[in-house]
Amino acid sequence: MNITQLQTPKSLALIEKLISFDTTSYKSNLDLIEYIQNYLSEYGISSQLAFNEEKTKANLYATIGPQDKSGVMLSGHTDVVPVTGQAWDTDPFCVTHKDGMLFGRGTCDMKGFIAIVLSYLPEMIAAKLETPVHLAFSYDEEIGCVGARRLVEMMSGMPIKPAMCIVGEPTSLQVVNAHKGKLAQRITVSGLEAHSSLPHLGVNAIDFAADLILFIRELARELAENGPFEEGFDVTYTTLHTGKVEGGVALNIVPKHCQFDFEIRNIPGQDPQPLLDKVMAYAKDVLEPKMKAVDANCSIEMSPLSGYPGMFTEEEKEVVEFVQTLTEVKGLKKITFGTEGGLFTNALHIPTVVCGPGSIEQAHKPNEFIEVAQVLAMESFMDKLITALSPS
């Protein structure tokens, strides 16, 4: 089906504009933020920015409607994942319309949502909202919800905070009330070099890293077998996973260095810290003494890479019932991927759900797309939201 056979989304021009900004996480998002800020200013809406330390990236926060009421926050991230090494059939930073789909990096995850929200700014203003809409657009979500932490810091000092939050990550407009948390860690093993023909004179950093990786795998197996479990998730238990290993210089040298990264994705009801403690206890109490018996300078160290808390919002919370009235997709869902919602619920105590257009199955892939039907459904969502927040 061609886009011309469907109703043309009113947000199409803004989707095309936002996609044209290359805001891959390792780049600045300031051009896009400046565009949004100017767009808001044209309608008399002021905004606040929360920058990173280098002033190369910024979060944006703005309120439409009464400034002295809590209201509904619409949250989205402005960064996208890289396209490097991916086989795209089209220019990823130029929207291509084909067969009822809009192709481009960020169409689904999640500039499509942001563009749709912004396209309804005239309607929000004309409606003279009784309850305000707050816009919260962040940077560096894709590398561990980094930017949202600065946003949370700024919001924590505000006298009035939103009463509820909708994170517009792609859920095919199904309401999500829970997702897992994540902790990513790096283990650095420092051993002792030696000639490979005399391995007893060295401390093989790769070998000891492997021992620790196997210990992590055993923890993962125990969790899979014994839980705790939380029904509703595709994977109902907390998982551990080693995803990257580097070490060694040459085959004939006992390796002095090995480094690996692992992660914990915890169900909301389980604290991941005891699992980290078990990993380090095994490293420090079991493996390190064996290494230091050969050379006292050997060590195993762990450092954090990134992380975000899990999110859980009780079904009885007002935000759950309210957002369900705005979408035609019924039922609640729990997701295994993370969002900034965990920060809003844990740090700011704002009841939050995740609900946005598009499917997570299309995110992060070459030829990322969002169905036009999903864009139109989100626009209907916005119509209902504005009506619900307007004077009766």
Catalogue the active-site residues: 79, 141
Are the C-beta atoms of residues 26 and 100 closer than 8 Å to each other?
no
227, containing H or E segment: none
Specify the residue for token string 């500039």.
Answer: 111
Q: Which amino acid is at 311?
A: M
Specify the residue for token string 């509904």.
Answer: 72
Are the C-beta atoms of residues 49 and 33 closer than 8 Å to each other?
yes
- Which region, left, alpha or beta, applies to residue 176 given φ > 0 means left and ψ of -120 to 50 means alpha? beta
- Helix extents (H) in the chain: 12-19, 30-42, 111-119, 121-126, 146-156, 205-226, 273-282, 288-292, 318-324, 341-347, 372-389
97 forms beta bridges with 102
The pair phi, psi for residue 16, each rounded to 5°, is -60, -40
Bridge-based pairing state of the strands 194-195 and 133-138: unpaired
Q: Report the distance separating Cα 321 and Cα 336, nearest Å.
A: 22
Cis previous bond, 162, omega within 30:
no
Q: Report the distance separating Cα 291 and Cα 186, nearest Å.
A: 19
Specify the 3-state DSSP secondary structure of 159.
Answer: coil
Cis previous bond, 73, omega within 30:
no
Q: Which amino acid is at 218?
A: E
60, containing H or E segment: strand 58-64
Bridge-based pairing state of the strands 352-354 and 164-167: parallel
What angle do helix axes 12-19 and 111-119 make, rounded to 10 degrees?
A: 140
Q: Report the distance separating Cα 305 and Cα 144, nearest Å.
A: 8
Q: Considering only CA atoms, which of 179, 181, 334, 140 is closest in space to residue 264?
A: 181
